[in-house]
Amino acid sequence: MNDNIVEVKNINMNFYTKEGELEVLKDVNFNLKEGEILTLLGPSGSGKSTILNILTNLLKPTSGDIKITGNIGYMFQEDNLLEWRNIMDNITIGLEIQGKKDKKSLDRVESLLKTYGLWDFRSMYPKELSGGMRQRVALIRTLSVNPDILLLDEPFSGIDIFTREKFIESLIGYMDNNIGILLTTHELKEVEN
Ligand code: ADP
Ligand code: MG
């Protein structure tokens, strides 16, 4: 039986810029199974976001094959919160788009907001929150649609150590749902956690 939920085979990615051809990914291969957390570690500019963008079809690789089994939740490197919507309305935007803003999903959002210490902030606006809080809002927005595969692009940048530990714990708790997590980082320290 093959239980890979993500398969990446021989991915190459070249960008064509004014300065010429930029070879960003060369023969990248990996698989992700249910219940696994996989970290893509590399310095800034090494192509981590590019890999996630390829997995979510935002970019087409120059060559290679990918296979995805399940729904993807993607947390971008930037939080991309909408400043004119309050925290609750930012979080439920994905549910709205998918027509899934029902009682069950809203209960799930409530429980996530409480887990991440943001329940009391639900009526506030993004500009009233710290960087770390905004990032947690972006995470809850991603989790609210119940993804099978979670892609997190540098989820720890801008989060203090204390929140980081809680964040990692909650992600590990979340693994009970048999999802797979692919995250990127440029700090070796985070991988050791
Ligand atoms: P990382 O996420 O590891 O910091 P990125 O995947 O964002 O790296 O970028 C890898 C390299 O590809 C960088 O040199 C970046 O400038 C370049 N790059 C990313 N997207 C594009 C694009 N759309 N066009 C041209 N170059 C790009
Ligand atoms: Mg990046």
Residue minimizing CA distance to atom 21 of ligand 1? 15
Beta bridge mates, 20: 17
Ligand 1 atom closest to the CA of 47, numbered from 1: 6
Q: Is 58 helix (H, G, I), strand (E, B) or coil?
A: coil
Residues with CB under 5 A from ligand 2 (ion): 48-49, 77
User: DSSP assignment of 130-183, as one string?
Assistant: -HHHHHHHHHHHHHTT--SEEEEESTTTT--HHHHHHHHHHHHHHGGG--EEEE
> What confidence score (pLDDT) does residue 55 get?
97
Of 48, 68, 77, 29, nearest to 180 by C-alpha is 68
Among protein residues, the one whose CA lies closest to atom 14 of ligand 1: 45
**Per-residue pLDDT at 166:** 73
Instruction: Give the residues surrounding ligand 1 with Cβ less than 6 Å away.
Output: 15, 17, 22, 24, 42, 44-50
Query: How many whole angstroms separate alpha carbon 81 and alpha carbon 90?
Result: 6
CB 107 within 8 A of CB 124: no
What pLDDT tens digit does each residue of the chain (193 aa) get? 458 999 999 999 999 989 899 999 999 999 999 989 899 999 999 999 999 999 999 999 999 999 999 999 999 988 999 999 999 999 999 899 889 899 999 999 999 999 888 999 999 999 999 988 898 899 999 999 889 999 999 987 767 666 777 777 777 776 666 789 999 998 766 556 5
**Confidence at residue 129, expressed as pLDDT on a 0 to 100 scale:** 95
CA 47 to centroid of ligand 1, rounded, Å: 6
Is the pTM above the cut of 0.85? Answer: yes
> Residue 78: nearest ligand to its CA?
2
Nearest to 135 by CA among 104, 166, 175, 107: 166
